[in-house]
Structure 1
Amino acid sequence: MRMLAGLFANAKVWFSRTRLVFQQIHFLGNYSLVIMIVSAAFIGAVLGLQAFYTLSRVGSESMVGLLVALSLVRELAPVVVAILFAGRAGTSMTAEIGLMKAGEQLSAMEMMGVDPINRVFAPRFWAAGFVVPMLTGLFALVGVYGGYVVAVWWLGVDDGAFWSMMNDGVSVREDIVNGLIKSVVFGLAVSFLAVYEGAQAHPTPEGVAQATTRTVVKSALLVLGLDFILTALMFS
């Protein structure tokens, strides 16, 4: 809890260490784009298939776009992005900080009067909180187009019906904004776990490896648990 309080207290790194924050935004976000885009395209395509085959039983194929969009913006985009982010960027943060601890770089900073939380931890923590919502929005957008390609181009759903049902049924405040709020919470939670596990890792190769594994496992469980709580609060 003390580390978490210190990270929130160092929100000023956006202004005092702007260069470091943007370096982390580039590292965490830019190098996660490929896996996010590819995953979103296939998940959207699968949603389009499943929605079409399910809705065709009741003659409601025109609602494929609505079902795909709601599934993505409410649940799948925030959750899948957070879990993929934990596997791609969270493990990287944990390993990097763990190796810095093993090499006594963090101890050297403290001896020189440099706060590791302000210099190392906070830029990564806040950069992840910014990157994950951006990736979530991109994921939802690509996923919708993946569902569109399958539903309209392959299965023959009417183009106008696909978009009109989606536009009428998706609420900006209740669906899109709530999905982005989820993504901010997930991003901060995953980045905190990654930073914490790296700082607590034993300064050995085995210790760093175990810390990266714990980051993925704990992040996945935490994201799923938080998703249930936030969904119950937002859509009850």
Structure 2
Amino acid sequence: MSYITSIGKYVGMMREVFSKPERFKVYYTRTIAEINSIGINSAGIVAILSVFMGAVIALQTASNMDSPLLPKYTIGYITRSSTILEFSPTIISLILAGKVGSNIASEIGTMKVTEQIDALEIMGVNSLSFLVLPKIIAAVFFFPFLIIFSMGLSILGGYYSVTSAGLASHEEFVFGLRAFFKSSDIVYALVKTCVFAFIIVSVSSYFGYYTKGGALDVGTSSTQAVVWSSIVILMANFVLTQLILM
């Protein structure tokens, strides 16, 4: 019963979030600020994770190619496919759920327990729309750029790891990158990314907005936001894969 109540509260919250904004100029300014906070400030950790993730994928693929029947370009092919289809959109989104989701939940939760949200409501401001909508727009707009950035760095990491180790030549790896490429794979990855971005912001905002108590409860809400965002992302990943690729 509690899960049904929580889903009902979540749906009601999202209805308020997408109500008509009072002043579009204010929302535009807040959206630009959120793009910087949510997106640009996450570029560093995305870059570091992507480079090493691609390097590990390529090295593991090369180390497991025991059969002489497998051509060397398979390393580039598997690195590209794994990165685009799963690792960049899903793994990076899970990492962002931890970084961005916890930040959103703690920010809104702190405003809730310090009665700043009540002050907004007293002034006649739709607090949910004012606080959450710019974050959703910023995440859904900018996360795909982060994931494309991640894909490029991951492939570069894989390229330099195997070529520097002498496990494949430049020509073999690049041929594998180009082999059997489908542009629909990029579309699939970016659709998943947009859905994951919405999940991260909306679920984290839900736990932050309905925080009750004090500072310790804000920490609890932040933890719950990360856990539930990750669970819902994995569930959505399964559903989207069934719908788009099957």
Q: Same fold by TM (over 0.5)?
A: yes
Which residue does 1:88 correspond to in 2?
99
| Stretches of structure 2 lacking an aligned partner (at least 5 in a row) | 1-10
Matches of 1:229 and 1:102, distance apart in 2: 36
The corresponding residue for 2:138 is 127
Flag the 1:188–1:219 CA change in 2: closer, same or farther, 3 A: same
Do the aligned partners of 2:108 and 2:205 also contact (CA within 8 Å) in 1?
yes
Where do 1:130-141 residues align within 5 Å? 130-141=141-152
Q: Which residue number corresponds to residue 75 of structure 1?
A: 86
Alignment of 1:104-115 (within 5 A): 104-115=115-126
1:144 aligns with 2:155: yes
Structure 1 counterpart of 2:213, which letter?
P
Q: What is the distance in 1 between the residues matched to 2:122 and 2:209?
A: 17
How far apart in 1 are the matches of 2:212 and 2:110?
A: 10
| Aligned-pair Cα RMSD in Å | 1.8
Give me the whole-angstrom Cα distance separating, in 2, the residues matched to 1:134 and 1:10. 27
Match for residue 28 of structure 2?
A: 18
TM-aligned CA distance change 1:10 to 1:62, over 3 Å: farther
After TM superposition, give the deviation of residue 14 of structure 1 in Å: 7.1
Q: TM-score, normalised by structure 2?
A: 0.90
1:214 aligned counterpart, secondary structure: helix
The question of whether the paired residues in 2 share the 8 Å contact of 1:106 and 1:116 is answered with: yes
Distance 1:176 1:151 in 2: 24
Match 2:55 to one of 45, 48, 65: 45
Partners of 1:14 and 1:44 in 2: CA distance: 41
State the alpha-carbon separation in 2 of the partners of residues 182 and 10 from structure 1: 27
Q: Which residue of 2 aligns with 1:60?
A: 71
Aligned to 2:191: 181
Is 1:232 matched up with 2:227? no
Aligned to 1:207: 217
Alpha-carbon offset, residue 35 of structure 1: 1.0
* 1:79 maps to amino acid: T
Distance 1:218 1:89, change over 3 A: same
CA distance in 1 between partners of 2:173 and 2:109 (Å): 48
- Residue equivalent to 2:204: 194
Aligned length: 235
Contact 1:201/1:207 (CA < 8 Å) preserved in 2? Answer: yes
For 1:151 and 1:194, how far apart are their aligned partners in 2?
39
Trace 1:140-179 onto structure 2 (pairs within 5 A).
Answer: 140-172=151-183, 174-179=184-189
CA distance in 2, matches of 1:14, 1:130: 17
CA distance in 2, matches of 1:220, 1:53: 31
